[in-house]
Amino acid sequence: MSASTVTTAAPRPAYRVTGRRVVRSEWSKFRSLRSSWITLGVAVLFLVVIGSVAAALYSPDGPLGGKDADSGAALTLALAGTNLAALAVGALGVLLSAGEYGTGMVRSTFAAVPGRLPVLWAKCAVYGPVAFVASTLGALLSFLFGSAALHGERIALSLGDAGVLRCLLGAGLYLGLVGVYGVTVGLLVRSTAGGIAILAGAVLVLPGLTGLLPSSLGDTVSRYLPSNAGQSVMTLHASGGSLVGPGAGMTALLVWAVLLLAGAACRLRRSDV
Amino acid sequence: MIEVRGLTKRYGDRTAVDGLSFTAPPGQVTGFLGPNGAGKSTTMRMIVGLDTPTSGTALVNGKPYARHRAPLQELGVLLEARAVHPGRSALNHLMALAYTHGVPRRRVEEVIDLAGLHGVAHKRVGAFSLGMGQRLGIAAALLGDPAVVMLDEPVNGLDPEGVRWVRELLRGLAAEGRTVMLSSHLMSEMAQTADRLVVVGRGRLLAETTVDALVERSEDKGVRVATGEPARLRSLLAGPGVTVTSTGAERLVVSGLDTRRIGEVAAEHRVPLYELAAESVSLEEAFMQLTQDAVEYHSIDAGRAA
């Protein structure tokens, strides 16, 4: 008990909230929930299983085969699970932010960090890289398994081929950013179910809806939607006009992130908890 | 020290807190008392910056809570609603809060022991009883060794032993010179814990007083007298500001005179008294008197809304 006597007798410790400490706190929050690891695991599993199965089922007579087969077909197959992985990664992002409103944890969080914005930055700084690393790993594994299955096929690619690493990293970056989108959407709508629905709609449904716009406008909008911009950073050779180049795609993804972050920041500053 | 000045919170056309001003000084337990829906929780949320006031200010140790470099060291709060993720263990919950301030793990373990949670520190909070949840909330409030402790309904869901623990803890914290503020809608609880009272109703300040003063201030209920000659005593006591009512063959209730004066009058005129006692007002009754209007307003309001 001498320790506690010393504590009370000593001058008060110099506690202080810093950005780094808030990141540390968010990392500990992420780490200490089972649902984080399960959902992240599901995302990686989607990437690896769907990608490997797609490659294993590949036949030269199928839609991706033939004489004029796209030279990036092996990557298309390896990354076939990206959309589903995006759902899982995005949903986890929503859980990490909107989930706090559901449980009430947000009151503890913002009582500890009443400036609020550091929490937003910290959540993204923790989860973005985590989602990026896990997704890149998943994409890499999927590609390697797929390569084994495609061995000897005309479309087979190896890691060393030009652009392959860029595409795999691109998939990881895209999914990392989808994680950030999830966090921001969750803070904007403050409801787990609502946030996941919006995210799923934006990833899966929205690209189809651009067909309702006049075709020239619709095509332009469609190219810059997160899912299509994401496709462009992980596609080896953008064929036809449906995708922009990888640089433009990455820029579009970042612009979306900045817009969503700004929106979430405004909402955090202005609204009561 | 908590200083609230002209604090107002409106939600649309509903005013939850209406120009509230009060002070919770250090070294004392300030009871924040009012019926349900009086605006206590909203006020507490504004003090810690979770809600932004429509107007007015709330200062914690001289500054708005959010301006402090280490807010948890200035004020520790327990809010009424649960503020914990059920999937996290008690230890991990407290660690997550501790990390934001650089509070060492040693201190986290200290508050876990203090709250009597060492046996369940690694259990998921979702499995906690209401009382254990309250203990965890109180542990979180004490985490930063704060100069001000503000607890919303801290004894909710606690067993008698827990209630006593909270009471002694809060008295102890105040004795160390800290500011302690706790809310309750139970006057009896306050009477045993608080030195000062801030009574609110309909979001307005009804009284800022001490427990003793509140009882004194409340309308006195009169003096119960039993005598063999009620008619004669009646006429002897009659005077301006004095009302005497008969409650039985030999029984009177006198208001406007104290027991001493009635006894003197009776002795002077040789009227035998069998009973002479002041009807004391309980703290509970004093509180009810004070908040009556506020409560009535709310039940009518709820009826309209339904």
Chains A–B, number of C-beta pairs less than 8 Å apart: 111
Rounded CA gap, A60 and A153, in Å? 8
Rounded CA gap, A150 and A165, in Å? 18
Write the residue in B92, B100, B110 that is nearest to A4 by C-beta: B110
pLDDT of residue A65 exceeding 90: no
Domains identified in chain A, total number? 1
A138 domain residue, yes or no = yes
- Domain span at residue A133? 20-270
A153 domain residue, yes or no = yes
A8 domain residue, yes or no = no
A13 domain residue, yes or no = no
A40 domain residue, yes or no = yes
Looking at this predicted complex, what is its ipTM? Answer: 0.89
Contact across the interface for A107 and B110, Cβ inside 8 Å: no
CA-closest candidate to residue A142, choices A51, A44, A81, A74: A51
Of the given ranges (A44-48, A110-114, A142-146, A242-246), which has the lowest mean pLDDT? A242-246
A1 domain residue, yes or no = no
A175 domain residue, yes or no = yes
Residue B218 is predicted with a pLDDT of 64
Which residues of A lie inside 8 Å of B (Cβ-Cβ)?
3-4, 7, 12-18, 21-22, 24-25, 28-29, 32-35, 99-100, 103-108, 110-115, 272-273
Contact across the interface for A108 and B86, Cβ inside 8 Å: no
Contacts of A111 in chain B (CB under 8 A): 48-50, 71-72, 77, 79, 83
Residue A8 is predicted with a pLDDT of 46
Contacts of B16 in chain A (CB under 8 A): none
Contact across the interface for A15 and B72, Cβ inside 8 Å: yes
Contacts of B93 in chain A (CB under 8 A): 108
- What's the predicted TM-score (pTM) here? 0.85
Contact across the interface for A108 and B97, Cβ inside 8 Å: yes
Domains of chain B by start residue, with CATH:
2-210 (3.40.50.300), 220-278 (3.30.70)
Write the residue in B70, B93, B106 that is nearest to A17 by C-beta: B70
CA-closest candidate to residue A126, choices A188, A180, A178: A180
Contact across the interface for B85 and A105, Cβ inside 8 Å: yes
B100, B103, B128: which to substitute to probe chain A, counting the most A Cβ within 10 Å? B100
A12 domain residue, yes or no = no
Residue A204 is predicted with a pLDDT of 83
CA-closest candidate to residue A166, choices A253, A245, A255, A252: A245
Rounded CA gap, A142 and A139, in Å? 5
Rounded CA gap, B63 and B166, in Å? 28
Task: Work out the minimum CA distance from A28 to partner chain B, whole angstroms.
Answer: 6
C-alpha triplet B303, B34, B282: angle, nearest 5°: 110
Per-residue pLDDT of chain B (306 residues; tens, 9 = 90+): 999 999 999 998 899 999 999 999 999 999 999 888 889 999 999 999 999 999 999 999 999 999 999 999 999 999 976 889 999 999 999 999 999 999 999 999 999 999 999 999 999 999 999 899 999 999 999 999 999 999 999 988 889 999 999 999 999 999 999 999 999 887 777 888 899 999 998 899 998 988 778 777 666 678 889 998 999 999 999 888 888 888 888 899 888 888 888 999 999 999 999 999 887 777 777 777 777 766 655 454 444 443
Residue B290 is predicted with a pLDDT of 76
